[in-house]
Amino acid sequence: MCELIKFNKETSLKDYTLYIPNVSIGNVPQLTVDLLISTYNLKKIATVWHPAIIPTVGSDPFDLKSKDVCTACELYANEDLKVAVVQLRSGLERGLKEEFLKKLIANIKEFELKRIVLLTSIFAFEMHNVNSSKFMYISNENAEIFKDCDATEETNLDLVSEGFVCPLFTELKDSVPCTILTRYCYEGDNRLDAVHTINLLGDIFKEFTAKEDFKFPISWEYLFGNPVPIEIY
């Protein structure tokens, strides 16, 4: 079996913040990561391959002129902001998921990260208090950093049981500061959920400043399919 993460050059992620999206409702975490990459100019630094990752390939979703290709799971980083993200463009095969997560956890522990943020989303009808924030977090970080942010603290991991955030959080929280950030949302046009998530991440971790003009990736142009063909009229 080949190595899980292949860097395109010698790279150290020491003291970086790593964002990992969970495949969840509205694909909000994946949209958030896409928006982070295009707005804050993160560059691809590694490809991730494992038989558990359902394969998808395509052209570079961030640069029309690029001859590069994109695969199902890649690692992007910005050296100045010391931010790295994993982008997962498809799901994980159920029978092989555990093996993949074990390897991923082993690799992540070697990175000597400053913190890990696991992004996920759940249906808005799961909110118990409709007047509370649309964000919820579970974290082992110092509570001070969440003091002024618009998010509700939780401790019950069962609330975010879908996907792989629970096993990742459980295994990694003893080695590195770890946060699960959850967005309550519905399926639909979830681009605004991604924008709100990034703004909140900026408020909490102060790694990037909030933007008024986000740079949407070119791949979002056809988020809901082709325009209506004129021939039908």
Partner 1 sequence: MNYNFGEIVEPPTRALIDENLPITIDLEIPNSLVLPPNINTLLIADTSYLSKLLKLCLVSEPMFSTKKNELTFYKLNDHYIVVCKLIEGVSIGKATEILMPWINLSEVVYAMTTSPLATYQNKSDSNMLMLSTDGNTCYPTLQVPNLVTGVTAGVFSYAKHVGKSCSLFIGYIDNTPLDSVNSKPFVELLRKIDLPPVRECVLQDRLPEHNLYM
Least distance in Å: CB of 217 to partner 1?
8
Helix (H, G, I), strand (E, B) or coil at 193: helix
Residue number, 64 or 143, with CB nearest to partner 1: 64
CB 6 within 8 A of CB 73: no
Q: Does 81 bind partner 1 (CB under 8 A)?
A: no
Within positions 190 to 229, which residues make up the interface with partner 1, using CB under 8 A?
Answer: 218-223, 225-226
**Rounded CA gap, 149 and 135, in Å?**
10
Residue number, 81 or 127, with CB nearest to partner 1: 127
Residue number, 91 or 177, with CB nearest to partner 1: 91
Helix (H, G, I), strand (E, B) or coil at 28: helix
Give me the residue label for tokens 């860097």: 7
What are the Cα distances from residue 76, in Å, to 45, 68, 114, 146, 157? 5, 14, 16, 26, 28
The residues pairing with 116 across neighbouring beta strands, listed in sequence order, are 18, 178
Give me the residue label for tokens 């019950």: 156
Q: Does 130 bind partner 1 (CB under 8 A)?
A: no
Residue among 10, 96, 18 at smallest CA distance from 46:
10
Site string for partner 1, 35-54 (x = CB under 8 A): ------------xxxxxxxx
In the set 64, 130, 143, 230, which binds partner 1 (CB under 8 A)? 64
Least distance in Å: CB of 180 to partner 1?
16
Which residues form the interface with partner 1 (CB under 8 A)?
A: 1-2, 6, 23-27, 47-61, 64, 67, 69, 71-72, 89-97, 123, 162-163, 186-187, 218-223, 225-226
